[in-house]
Amino acid sequence: MTERLSARVNSTETSPIRKLIDMVDRTPNVIGLHAGEPDFDTPIHIREAAKKALNEGYTHYTHTAGLPELREAIAEKLLKENNIKADSETEITVTVGGFAALFSTFQAVINPGDEVIVTEPTWPSYKGFTKLSGGILVPLQLKAPDYPLDVNSLTEKITEHTKMVVINNPNNPTGAVYSPKQLKDLASLAKKHDFLVLADEVYEKIVFDNTPHYSIASLAAMKEKAITVNSFSKTYAMTGWRVGYVVANKQITSGIRRIHSYIASCVSPAFQKAALAAITGPDDCVQRMVREYKERRDMTVEALNDIPFLQCIKPKGTFYLFPDVQGLGLLSANAAEQILKKAKVATIPGSAFGSSGEGHLRMAIAASKKDLLEAVKRIANFVKALPSR
């Protein structure tokens, strides 16, 4: 039979996280610590806003860029919380989740042969976005245990073909939060070598221990070079609502909007109204979720560190842990598979996030304290049953 799939599709692998999720779905009685999704319900005032919008007839097409009132609210939020000045008319686009924001951005700015430097360990979808745009992925391997943004190593990766550097801040899966100095050093390199910086900041409000989050787009030198992606999914437990946004200069925004119009035409207007209620409403619901994540983090890290051959540091942000499991004598993919089959606990192998993630597992603490303690207990029993090393 004639090959009917495009070379583009054939060169793009299914996400390793998706593969594991499919395996989990076929395994009974599993405690799932694999999914990057809050376990909280969407706050009621947000749900009520969506119901009200539906009743008021917000069920038709809207502008591809998003409702003007939502873009204006995002602009106010950016200025107040991120020190980013953005024009709601020409520099902000509401997208179908962070996924569409990222996909549209890659398609809008990356040409075949452009090099895209991506920090690792990091979310594996950046690799797919790069390939689908015809770009060349250049991994920047950061070092455990804190995985700081190493600009010296970055300098060695830069070539005349470097078009964009991608950072995830706070980082999935490591929980690293980049310091002002690290971001300023990155900005200096962007100015010197004339490349873009895409900052994925979807976990910006999930930070602990008074760790501040800084946006690289707030730096004066980055006004024309920074692209900021954010989403309502993680902050407001709205993963299924699919509302995100991307902020860039006028020229790049025009390209992003053009691409996004071919993906989805527009985001559901009722869900945009819900997002408006989220961003303009009280944030006590967000604070409660973050406090709960912190308590879970502290409890689970302590329990993991009581298990022989495992080491886990406290992440500064996100709702993930990234324990070092090299002491088990197993590759991370094997460790994750065996823990799933024998302990009935679903995790993600660190190798899914790049080669520098090898020797680790990603565990989401988006689960009840009861389930987290039971999961650690099962992992401890699994480790105890392993052959002597």
Give me the residues of the chain with pLDDT under 50, please: none
Say yes or no: domain 7-42+284-384 is CATH 3.90.1150.10.
yes
Instruction: Specify the domain boundaries for CATH 3.90.1150.10 within the chain.
Output: 7-42+284-384
Q: What is the pLDDT of residue 14?
A: 73
How many whole angstroms from its chain centre is CA 217?
A: 17
| CA dist 10 → 14, 46, 108, 132, 207 (Å) | 10, 40, 22, 10, 38
Q: Could you tell me which of 280, 277, 271 has the C-alpha nearest to residue 95?
A: 271
Q: What is the pLDDT of residue 45?
A: 98
Instruction: Specify the domain boundaries for CATH 3.40.640.10 within the chain.
Output: 56-280
pLDDT tens-digit series, residues 89-122: 999 999 999 999 999 999 999 999 999 999 999 9
CB atoms within 10 A of CB 27: 12
Quick one: CATH architecture of 56-280?
3-Layer(aba) Sandwich (3.40)
